[in-house]
A and B are shown apart, each in its own frame.
Chain A
Amino acid sequence: MSVSLKQPYVGAGAQGASNQLTPDELRSMLTDMLLIRSVEDEVERLFFRGLVRGSTHLCQGQEAVAVGACRALVAGDTMTCTYRGHGAVLAKGAAADRLLAEILGKSSGLCGGNGGSMHLADLAAGAMGSFAIVGANLPVAVGLGWGHQLAGDGRASVTFFGDGATNIGAFHEAMNLAAIWKLPVIFVCENNLYGEYSPIGVTTPVRHLIDRAPAYAMRAEQVDGNDVLAVRDATRRALTYARSGEGPTFLEALTYRQKGHSRSDPGKYRPDEEVRHWLTLDPIIRFTTWLVENDVADESWCASESARVNAQVRNMSDAAVAMPDPQPASQSSEC
């Protein structure tokens, strides 16, 4: 399946965001993306070693959406996401060692082992929850926006969801309420072209998901979701709009899930040519190239940073595997 932006998009990075970011900040954005990729690769290995129970939903290839959007946020902004949320929770600032421990069901995990892969949260970081029912985070994100509006704290609620969620009722109720109450909510749709195993064309009558937004008189923007600087720029515009009391934005980030839907899915329904095409658009490769071409980092630094992050993640993973299992909470019987 080919995909193109509804309107030609002028590459963000070069002219826009780079002017506002220091070289250190730009390099640390690559580090964040490398961390997410490395954690996801490690979770996949842990799954195949039989150490991750149930299922797990990986986001390799979508790192630029999480990092680009979260880098636009400030402390106090709140974030909610989905069961494919490891990347978003890391990008919002959760500690990777506690995230890995939670995915392994350990007592030192982010949720004490109660949540698991699909329910990561780090309240101190503003990661308010990962929701495992498709679309369920959207009404809650609206409530967070309402809370920010009532408090007058100038903060916003950002929520991530997939293209498939735009077909569930909660999405439409949430979009409508956010628009009519002019709430500071950024709806970040990670359009990875597949809702579970089904290509978007089979399930969704609109060609571009931003075409959902005019039905709610909502500001909308489509962005290259594999361009981390473009995502950051677009999120910043949405935040400026939200913080000035104008209301929500629907942000459609075009991206691609490099792996299957979940660990039981090798993703064989996708044409090889399509997968190969999107691998050439890998957000980490693209941003690395950009950093080198713009003299922010050289190739050897990028390679050594990748190796450093991978080693760090392997160490955290080994430590998490060795952590104690949680103890049961006291349970009472009513009779």
Chain B
Amino acid sequence: MTVTTETWTYREAIREAIADEMRSDPRVLLLGEDVAAAGGVFKVTEGLLEEFGGDRVRDTPISEQAIVGAAIGAAMLGYKPVVEIMFADFAGVCFDQIANQLAKHSFLTGGELQLSVTIRLANGAGVGFGAQHSQAVENWFLGQSGLKICVPSSAASAYGLLRSAIQDPEPVLVFEPKALYGVPETRVPATTTPLGRAAIIRPGQHVTVVATQSALWRVLEAADELEQAGVDVEVVDPRTLRPMDTGTITGSVKKTGRLVCVQEGERAGSWGEHVIACVIQSAFHFLDAQPLLVSSPPIPVPFARHLEEMWMPDTSTIVDKVMEVARS
């Protein structure tokens, strides 16, 4: 008997999550630039216009402020819009609508009006798009009360987190690492993933390594190499950055006594710094070594292939840094 392993991609997982939510809840809408007729520039939303029709799946002008504002207004009347921001960098164009309006409107109405808006953003480097189409911008929103932030790292987690995001009564930003869209993964049964809960992706005893999105894949490669060298790494995926499941992370550090965070993007004002600050505040006496943040250098994402690869924390750097912490 032949056992075939079925695969799916991150792109397909996102599409299935949107379709499943649209099937189960007629209030769910999808809007964005080229999401309908063209199926999205990354082809994530292909086929949704055909299944759900032009009222619920809408192409918009290149007007990010109007797109997010349209979602806010529709949500005020009980709809559940899913917005696609084609490249996460374009969040800069509609920062006011996200940070000043979407994030605060519920608070400003005394909590009476909740806005169930999901914003999907194609995030991160690794595909050669240059400095204005390659940033991992989740940290822009890290300190914004009123927003939840998801950073799915795999097809299964993308499916599960996106379904939870759309079901959530409050605004959620979902950052999708565009470098992972086409990578085949072993298909697992599709379930929702609760927001605000980290996952221990690989249990280990010696060092806790926290990583997100495409950096997590390199951490898992590094963990295999480190195992050969006798270092048993515990890999934690926060999955949600707001609210952050600091309990799971701290619990892991209390066991291993060592912490490394690995992120794409620079250090200042980042989630990696936030995790280290939280662990120092709440588990300082459990630490056997000083925590370490492996991040990108403080320059814009370069275009040339080898420069972009050097900018991202790569597997050999991660191996070296984790080894350093393990042996200190």
A: which residues have CB within 8 A of B? 78, 110-115, 119, 121, 123, 128-129, 131, 133, 136, 138-148, 150-151, 157, 169-170, 173-174, 176-177, 180, 334-335
Q: Which among A133, A136, A142, A173 has the highest number of chain B CB atoms within 10 Å? A: A173
Contacts of B77 in A (CB 8 A): 78, 144, 147-148, 151
| 5 closest Cβ pairs, A-B complex | A143-B73, A139-B69, A147-B77, A112-B110, A173-B66
B109 pairs with A177, CB closer than 8 A: no
| Cβ contact of B113, chosen from A123, A131, A151, cutoff 8 A | A123
Contacts of B100 in A (CB 8 A): 133, 136
A109 to chain B, nearest CB (A): 8
| Cβ contact of A140, chosen from B64, B76, B111, B281, cutoff 8 A | B76
The 5 sampled A-B contact pairs (Cβ below 8 Å) are A128-B113, A129-B109, A169-B65, A173-B63, A176-B66
B: which residues have CB within 8 A of A? 29, 55, 60-61, 63-79, 96-97, 100-101, 105, 107-113, 243-244, 246, 277-278, 281-282
Q: What is the predominant secondary structure among interface residues of chain B facing chain A?
A: helix
B65 pairs with A173, CB closer than 8 A: yes
B157 to chain A, nearest CB (A): 21
Q: Given contacts A139-B68, A174-B69, A177-B60, could you give 6 more A-B pairs where the C-beta distance is less than 8 Å?
A: A111-B110, A114-B108, A143-B70, A173-B61, A173-B69, A335-B277
The docked-state distance in angstroms from the alpha carbon of A128 to that of B106 is 11
A147 pairs with B74, CB closer than 8 A: yes
Contacts of A114 in B (CB 8 A): 107-110
The docked-state distance in angstroms from the alpha carbon of A173 to that of B60 is 11
B30 to chain A, nearest CB (A): 13
A140 pairs with B277, CB closer than 8 A: no
The docked-state distance in angstroms from the alpha carbon of A49 to that of B75 is 40
Contacts of B108 in A (CB 8 A): 111, 114-115, 119, 121, 129
**Contacts A119-B108, A123-B109, A129-B109; is A150 near B74 (CB within 8 Å)?**
yes
Contacts of A145 in B (CB 8 A): 73
| Cβ contact of B70, chosen from A113, A129, A142, A151, cutoff 8 A | A142
The docked-state distance in angstroms from the alpha carbon of A144 to that of B74 is 5
The docked-state distance in angstroms from the alpha carbon of A139 to that of B95 is 13
